[in-house]
């Protein structure tokens, strides 16, 4: 029997949480370190360090944007649930619930007699 939800979804949701954390750390540290290097290279008038500082700041900004764009674990679970809840699935669950209640009522009626 095949699972309703693939276990890979749960794994990827967990990994996305770690990616979000890593991107935010890389972004924050990249921007801070890049700004410090930029200030130092301006004082020393070193064009190579200035270029390196700009690259590090760019990487930091990309990291911050990735951190913003990667959804949280809670959001990913909500998205997964929303993708699985369809009118057909609701109808199937509704029919199954009604059948279960009818069988339960019959069983109770048998025990009362």
* pTM for this entry: 0.67
Listed residue (107, 105, 77) closest to 16, CA to CA: 77
Helix (H) or strand (E) holding 64: helix 47-69
- Range of lowest pLDDT (36-45, 49-58, 75-84, 96-105): 96-105
Q: Residues of 84-101 as b/e, b for ≥16 C-beta within 10 angstroms?
A: eeeeeeeeeeeeeeeeee
3-state percent breakdown (helix, strand, coil) of the chain, nearest 5: 90, 0, 10
What is the greatest pairwise CA distance in the chain?
97
What is the C-alpha separation between 112 and 26, in angstroms, rounded? 68
At residue 1 the predicted structure's pLDDT band, cuts being 50, 70 and 90, is low
Q: What is the pLDDT of residues 15-56, one digit of tens each?
A: 998 999 999 999 999 999 999 999 988 888 888 888 999 999
Q: What is the pLDDT of residues 47-73, one digit of tens each?
A: 888 899 999 999 999 999 999 999 998
What is the C-alpha separation between 69 and 64, in angstroms, rounded? 9
Domain ranges of the chain: 1-70
What is the C-alpha separation between 21 and 88, in angstroms, rounded? 37
């Amino acid at each position: 029997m095949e699972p309703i939800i693939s276990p890979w979804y749960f794994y990827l949701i967990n990994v996305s949480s770690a990616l979000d954390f890593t991107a935010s750390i890389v972004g924050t540290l990249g921007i801070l370190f890049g700004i410090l290097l930029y200030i130092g290279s301006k004082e020393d008038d070193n064009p190579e360090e200035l270029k390196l500082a700009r690259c590090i700041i760019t990487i930091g900004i990309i990291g911050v944007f990735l951190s913003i764009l990667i959804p949280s674990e809670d959001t990913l679970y909500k998205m997964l649930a929303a993708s699985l809840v369809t009118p057909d699935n609701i109808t199937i669950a509704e029919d199954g619930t009604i059948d279960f209640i009818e069988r339960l009522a019959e069983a109770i009626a048998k025990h009362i007699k």
